[in-house]
Amino acid sequence: MPRWEPGGRERLVVAAVDLFTEQGYDATTVAEIAQRAGVTRSTFFRHFSDKREVLVAGQESLSRLLVEGVAEAPAGATPLEAVAEGLARASGAMGPLNRELGPRLRAAVAASAELQERDALKSVGMAAAVTGALVERGVPDAAAHLAAEMGVLAFKLGYARWSEGDRAEDEPLAPHTAAALQELVAASASLT
Protein backbone atom coordinates (compact mmCIF):
# COMPACT_ATOMS: atom_id res chain seq x y z
CA MET A 1 0.00 0.00 0.00
CA PRO A 2 1.59 3.32 -1.08
CA ARG A 3 2.44 5.45 1.90
CA TRP A 4 2.41 8.94 0.37
CA GLU A 5 -0.08 8.61 -2.45
CA PRO A 6 -1.94 11.92 -2.88
CA GLY A 7 -5.62 12.30 -2.07
CA GLY A 8 -5.52 10.19 1.10
CA ARG A 9 -7.93 12.44 2.99
CA GLU A 10 -10.51 12.33 0.21
CA ARG A 11 -10.12 8.57 -0.18
CA LEU A 12 -10.68 8.15 3.57
CA VAL A 13 -13.90 10.17 3.40
CA VAL A 14 -15.20 8.15 0.43
CA ALA A 15 -14.22 4.86 2.06
CA ALA A 16 -15.89 5.81 5.33
CA VAL A 17 -19.11 6.92 3.67
CA ASP A 18 -19.20 3.75 1.58
CA LEU A 19 -18.63 1.52 4.60
CA PHE A 20 -21.11 3.40 6.78
CA THR A 21 -23.69 2.97 4.02
CA GLU A 22 -22.90 -0.71 3.45
CA GLN A 23 -22.61 -1.97 7.01
CA GLY A 24 -23.59 0.88 9.31
CA TYR A 25 -21.58 3.34 11.33
CA ASP A 26 -21.33 1.24 14.49
CA ALA A 27 -20.11 -1.85 12.63
CA THR A 28 -17.37 0.04 10.77
CA THR A 29 -13.87 0.24 12.22
CA VAL A 30 -11.06 2.68 11.58
CA ALA A 31 -8.97 -0.24 10.31
CA GLU A 32 -11.61 -1.07 7.70
CA ILE A 33 -11.82 2.56 6.57
CA ALA A 34 -8.04 2.78 6.24
CA GLN A 35 -7.84 -0.52 4.37
CA ARG A 36 -10.62 0.49 1.95
CA ALA A 37 -8.87 3.84 1.34
CA GLY A 38 -5.52 2.14 0.76
CA VAL A 39 -3.75 3.84 3.67
CA THR A 40 -2.47 2.83 7.08
CA ARG A 41 -4.25 3.37 10.40
CA SER A 42 -1.61 5.92 11.35
CA THR A 43 -2.39 7.85 8.16
CA PHE A 44 -6.06 7.80 9.15
CA PHE A 45 -5.17 9.31 12.53
CA ARG A 46 -3.01 11.99 10.90
CA HIS A 47 -6.16 13.25 9.21
CA PHE A 48 -8.92 12.46 11.73
CA SER A 49 -9.14 11.97 15.48
CA ASP A 50 -11.83 9.26 15.13
CA LYS A 51 -14.24 7.80 12.59
CA ARG A 52 -16.97 10.27 13.51
CA GLU A 53 -14.77 13.17 12.44
CA VAL A 54 -14.54 11.81 8.89
CA LEU A 55 -18.07 12.97 8.21
CA VAL A 56 -17.35 16.58 9.15
CA ALA A 57 -14.03 16.73 7.35
CA GLY A 58 -14.81 19.94 5.50
CA GLN A 59 -16.51 21.85 8.32
CA GLU A 60 -13.59 24.15 9.06
CA SER A 61 -13.09 24.99 5.40
CA LEU A 62 -16.80 25.50 4.89
CA SER A 63 -17.04 27.80 7.91
CA ARG A 64 -13.99 29.73 6.74
CA LEU A 65 -15.46 30.22 3.27
CA LEU A 66 -18.80 31.36 4.68
CA VAL A 67 -17.04 33.87 6.94
CA GLU A 68 -14.83 35.15 4.12
CA GLY A 69 -17.86 35.72 1.91
CA VAL A 70 -19.69 37.58 4.69
CA ALA A 71 -16.63 39.69 5.49
CA GLU A 72 -16.06 40.63 1.85
CA ALA A 73 -19.70 41.58 1.14
CA PRO A 74 -20.13 45.23 0.10
CA ALA A 75 -20.16 47.72 2.96
CA GLY A 76 -23.86 48.57 2.57
CA ALA A 77 -25.04 44.96 2.34
CA THR A 78 -27.87 43.88 4.60
CA PRO A 79 -27.19 40.95 6.93
CA LEU A 80 -28.94 38.56 4.53
CA GLU A 81 -27.10 39.98 1.53
CA ALA A 82 -23.83 39.38 3.38
CA VAL A 83 -24.97 35.83 4.19
CA ALA A 84 -25.80 35.33 0.50
CA GLU A 85 -22.20 36.33 -0.33
CA GLY A 86 -20.98 33.73 2.17
CA LEU A 87 -23.21 31.10 0.64
CA ALA A 88 -21.93 31.90 -2.83
CA ARG A 89 -18.31 31.61 -1.66
CA ALA A 90 -18.86 28.30 0.15
CA SER A 91 -21.02 26.85 -2.62
CA GLY A 92 -18.36 27.60 -5.20
CA ALA A 93 -15.96 25.26 -3.41
CA MET A 94 -18.28 22.27 -3.73
CA GLY A 95 -17.58 19.94 -6.63
CA PRO A 96 -18.68 16.63 -8.11
CA LEU A 97 -17.34 14.55 -5.20
CA ASN A 98 -19.39 16.59 -2.72
CA ARG A 99 -22.45 16.11 -4.88
CA GLU A 100 -21.89 12.38 -5.22
CA LEU A 101 -21.39 11.82 -1.50
CA GLY A 102 -24.39 13.88 -0.36
CA PRO A 103 -27.13 11.25 -0.47
CA ARG A 104 -24.95 8.52 1.04
CA LEU A 105 -23.73 10.87 3.75
CA ARG A 106 -27.28 11.85 4.68
CA ALA A 107 -28.27 8.16 4.83
CA ALA A 108 -25.33 7.35 7.10
CA VAL A 109 -26.16 10.26 9.41
CA ALA A 110 -29.86 9.34 9.50
CA ALA A 111 -28.99 5.80 10.61
CA SER A 112 -26.82 6.82 13.59
CA ALA A 113 -27.75 8.88 16.64
CA GLU A 114 -24.08 9.61 17.24
CA LEU A 115 -23.67 11.01 13.73
CA GLN A 116 -26.86 13.02 14.04
CA GLU A 117 -25.44 14.62 17.15
CA ARG A 118 -22.16 15.43 15.38
CA ASP A 119 -24.04 16.83 12.39
CA ALA A 120 -26.03 19.12 14.70
CA LEU A 121 -22.80 20.34 16.30
CA LYS A 122 -21.42 21.04 12.83
CA SER A 123 -24.40 23.27 12.08
CA VAL A 124 -24.02 25.08 15.40
CA GLY A 125 -20.33 25.71 14.68
CA MET A 126 -21.01 27.07 11.21
CA ALA A 127 -23.79 29.34 12.51
CA ALA A 128 -21.52 30.64 15.27
CA ALA A 129 -18.78 31.46 12.75
CA VAL A 130 -21.21 33.34 10.49
CA THR A 131 -22.76 35.12 13.47
CA GLY A 132 -19.31 36.33 14.51
CA ALA A 133 -18.59 37.62 11.01
CA LEU A 134 -21.89 39.50 10.93
CA VAL A 135 -21.32 41.01 14.37
CA GLU A 136 -17.91 42.21 13.16
CA ARG A 137 -19.76 44.00 10.35
CA GLY A 138 -21.80 45.83 12.98
CA VAL A 139 -24.96 43.73 12.75
CA PRO A 140 -26.82 43.61 16.08
CA ASP A 141 -26.50 40.31 17.91
CA ALA A 142 -30.07 39.03 17.47
CA ALA A 143 -30.17 39.90 13.77
CA ALA A 144 -26.73 38.34 13.28
CA HIS A 145 -27.85 35.09 14.92
CA LEU A 146 -31.04 34.91 12.89
CA ALA A 147 -29.31 35.67 9.57
CA ALA A 148 -26.57 33.13 10.32
CA GLU A 149 -29.05 30.38 11.18
CA MET A 150 -31.00 31.12 8.00
CA GLY A 151 -27.76 30.93 6.03
CA VAL A 152 -26.78 27.56 7.48
CA LEU A 153 -30.27 26.19 6.87
CA ALA A 154 -30.19 27.55 3.30
CA PHE A 155 -26.86 25.82 2.73
CA LYS A 156 -28.21 22.51 4.02
CA LEU A 157 -31.42 22.73 1.99
CA GLY A 158 -29.62 23.82 -1.17
CA TYR A 159 -26.99 21.13 -0.79
CA ALA A 160 -29.65 18.44 -0.29
CA ARG A 161 -31.52 19.52 -3.42
CA TRP A 162 -28.32 19.77 -5.46
CA SER A 163 -26.94 16.41 -4.40
CA GLU A 164 -30.29 14.65 -4.90
CA GLY A 165 -30.88 16.32 -8.26
CA ASP A 166 -30.25 15.13 -11.79
CA ARG A 167 -26.54 14.39 -12.08
CA ALA A 168 -26.73 14.56 -15.86
CA GLU A 169 -26.89 18.32 -15.40
CA ASP A 170 -23.49 19.73 -14.54
CA GLU A 171 -24.85 22.56 -12.45
CA PRO A 172 -23.16 24.36 -9.59
CA LEU A 173 -24.43 24.39 -6.01
CA ALA A 174 -24.68 28.19 -5.71
CA PRO A 175 -28.07 28.65 -7.42
CA HIS A 176 -29.56 26.04 -5.07
CA THR A 177 -28.31 27.73 -1.89
CA ALA A 178 -29.38 31.16 -3.18
CA ALA A 179 -32.88 29.86 -3.98
CA ALA A 180 -33.13 28.18 -0.57
CA LEU A 181 -32.18 31.45 1.17
CA GLN A 182 -34.86 33.31 -0.79
CA GLU A 183 -37.43 30.67 0.16
CA LEU A 184 -36.51 31.03 3.83
CA VAL A 185 -36.75 34.82 3.64
CA ALA A 186 -40.20 34.53 2.06
CA ALA A 187 -41.26 31.96 4.65
CA SER A 188 -40.09 34.16 7.52
CA ALA A 189 -42.11 37.07 6.15
CA SER A 190 -45.23 34.92 6.37
CA LEU A 191 -44.71 34.29 10.07
CA THR A 192 -45.89 37.72 11.17
Q: What is the pLDDT of residue 2?
A: 44
Both 163 and 135 in a single domain? yes
Count the helix, strand and coil residues of the chain and give each as a percent rounded to the nearest 5: 75, 0, 25
Distance (Å, rounded) from C-alpha 180 to C-alpha 16?
29
Same domain, 114 and 77: yes
Q: What is the pLDDT of residue 69?
A: 97
**Residue ranges in the chain modelled with pLDDT below 70:** 1-6, 167-168
Is the domain of 121 the same as that of 134?
A: yes
Q: What is the CATH number of the domain that holds 41?
A: 1.10.10.60
Q: Do 47 and 75 lie in a common domain? A: no
By residue range, what is the domain housing residue 80? 58-189
| Cβ–Cβ under 8 Å, residues 147 and 70 | no
The count of structural domains within the chain is 2
pLDDT reported for residue 52? 84
Check whether residue 78 and residue 172 sit in a common domain: yes
Q: What is the pLDDT of residues 40-91, one digit of tens each?
A: 999 999 999 998 888 777 778 899 999 999 999 999 999 999 999 999 999 9
Let me know whether 149 and 98 are in one domain.
yes
Kindly state whether residue 1 falls inside one of the protein's structural domains: no
- Are 151 and 83 in contact by the 8 Å Cβ rule? The answer is yes
Residues 114 and 127 in one domain: yes
Residues 104 and 85 in one domain: yes
Q: Is residue 2 one of the residues assigned to a domain?
A: no
In this structure, the answer to whether residues 49 and 85 fall within a common structural domain is no
65 and 37 share one domain: no
